[in-house]
Chain A
């Protein structure tokens, strides 16, 4: 059984650019959630995908978009990057359902300059 893996681990982008972050969910998990964690704060929910459909969204603008593939891996895309988008982006996978455990990846550290 493999854990949740995210790529890349770090990247630096320029304001206005676009970025794609990737997440491979834990084997057998059909639900992926994305979180943004700014420095000194707790993770904030961006959105969740269940079986390739968006299944909930937090308070983030439309320039944050996502995708889930048939193998349940997922991408987070952010367009028109702003300096405030600099954060750690976390992916979590689960089997879905309110009582199942979510497993987190190690995160991608995005710096926007």
Chain B
């Protein structure tokens, strides 16, 4: 069965500290992995996807198929990074049906 787990409900770090939001998945096949973010009073929006291998707002995520993980990292957290982060996977079929994790709330303290 497809499943995404995010072990931390809440993660608090100080401004300038490194951040790692954990995500593990189970999927039989080759999934597409994504991170979505929801800032306060805003809609859910795409942060990054593994296939693009890009860095958005200083965040990166590496797909580790051996550990079935897709952790989100940023070397120096900023206060504006405070938000709800959701890891999601999608199968390679036509259309995007996401399986979302429960989310991690990141709080960056001044």
Task: Find the B residue at minimum CB distance from A50.
Answer: B95
How many chain-B residues does the 8 Å CB contact rule pick out? 23
Q: Contact between A44 and B100 (Cβ–Cβ < 8 Å)?
A: yes
Q: Which of A27-81 contact B (CB under 8 A)?
A: 31, 33, 35, 40-45, 48, 50, 55-56, 58
B55 to A: closest C-beta gap in Å: 17
The smallest C-beta distance from A31 to any residue of chain B, in angstroms, reads 6
Contact indicator A102/B98 (Cβ below 8 Å): yes
Report A95-108 CB contacts with B as 1/0, cut-off 8 Å: 01111111111110
A94 contacts chain B at the CB level, 8 A cutoff: yes
A43-B4 Cα distance, complex, nearest whole Å: 12
CA of A103 to CA of B100, assembled, Å:
15
Assess the B96–A43 pair: CB atoms within 8 A: no
User: Which of chain B's residues have a CB closer than 8 A to the CB of A90?
Assistant: 44
Q: Which residues of A contact B86 (CB under 8 A)?
A: 42-43
Query: Does any Cβ of A come within 8 Å of B28's Cβ?
Result: no
- Considering the complex, give the chain A residue whose CB is closest to the CB of B88: A42
Q: Which of B4, B46, B93, B103 contacts A101 (CB 8 A)?
A: B46
Whether the Cβ atoms of A31 and B95 lie closer than 8 Å is yes
Q: Is the CB of A56 within 8 A of B98?
A: no
Interface residues of B in 7-45 (CB under 8 A from A): 32, 43-45
**A42-B100, A42-B102 as given contacts; A97 in contact with B51, CB under 8 Å:** no
| A98 in contact with B43 (CB, 8 Å) | no
**B43, A107: Cβ atoms closer than 8 Å:** yes
Whole-angstrom distance between the Cβ of A39 and the nearest chain B Cβ: 11
Q: Which residues of A contact B101 (CB under 8 A)?
A: 42
Residues of chain B whose beta carbon lies under 8 Å from any beta carbon of chain A = 4, 32, 43-46, 51, 86, 88, 90-103
With A98-B95, A104-B44 known, 10 other A-B pairs at CB within 8 A are: A4-B43, A35-B98, A42-B4, A48-B97, A58-B97, A90-B44, A97-B94, A97-B95, A98-B90, A101-B46
